[in-house]
């Protein structure tokens, strides 16, 4: 199963659309917030595509949840924007929540910086930002869940 993870598109529907077009192989798209409006627009263009969204600190009018948990191929995936857990400082509070939920994978945004780690048996993924990257070019994340295990990586959008 392939899951594409995006965050912080900040009204840049063109880049979000570019990712959806490039990743037709994805079974699911997760948007980690600060892009609810453009995700609504994109979702209308791709009615057969499965999207999940959590709201970010800039999604003021969104009725989306601030965090969510889904199960894919037996793996528990927790996702949130991250601002409520102080992720610009560290991942301590976030990891506490992930352990509480017994999740295998944690996806978060907010920092606009791509990040992957494996800590305490938990895969962490921050896909970076589609519109306002802190470290160069826009990025997004990909999670592959197979019989062999979990693989996580970043993709640079050009």
Q: Where are the domains of the chain?
A: 2-156
Q: Does domain 2-156 have CATH number 2.40.50.140?
A: no
Q: With H, G, I as helix, E, B as strand and everything else as coil, classify residue 88.
A: coil
Whether this prediction's pTM lies above 0.95 is answered by: yes
d(CA 153, CA 126): 10
pLDDT in tens, 41-92: 999 999 999 999 999 999 999 999 999 999 999 999 999 999 999 999 999 9
Task: List phi, psi (to 5°) of 70.
Answer: -130, 160
d(CA 30, CA 127): 10
pLDDT in tens, 99-117: 999 999 999 999 999 999 9
pLDDT in tens, 115-128: 999 999 999 999 99
């Amino acid at each position: 199963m392939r899951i594409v993870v995006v965050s912080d598109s900040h009204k840049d529907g063109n880049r979000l659309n570019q990712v959806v077009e490039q990743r037709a192989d994805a079974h699911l798209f997760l948007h980690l917030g600060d892009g609810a409006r453009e995700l609504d627009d994109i979702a209308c263009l791709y009615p057969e595509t499965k999207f999940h969204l959590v709201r970010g600190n800039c999604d003021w009018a969104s009725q989306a949840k601030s965090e969510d948990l889904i199960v894919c191929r037996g793996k528990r995936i927790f996702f949130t924007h991250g601002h409520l857990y102080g992720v610009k400082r560290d991942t301590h509070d976030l990891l506490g929540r992930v352990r509480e939920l017994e999740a295998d994978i944690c996806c978060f945004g907010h920092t606009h910086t791509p990040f992957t780690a494996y800590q305490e048996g938990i895969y962490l993924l921050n896909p970076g930002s589609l519109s306002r990257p802190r470290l160069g070019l826009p990025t997004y994340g990909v999670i592959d869940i197979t019989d062999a295990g979990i693989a996580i990586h970043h993709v640079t959008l050009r």
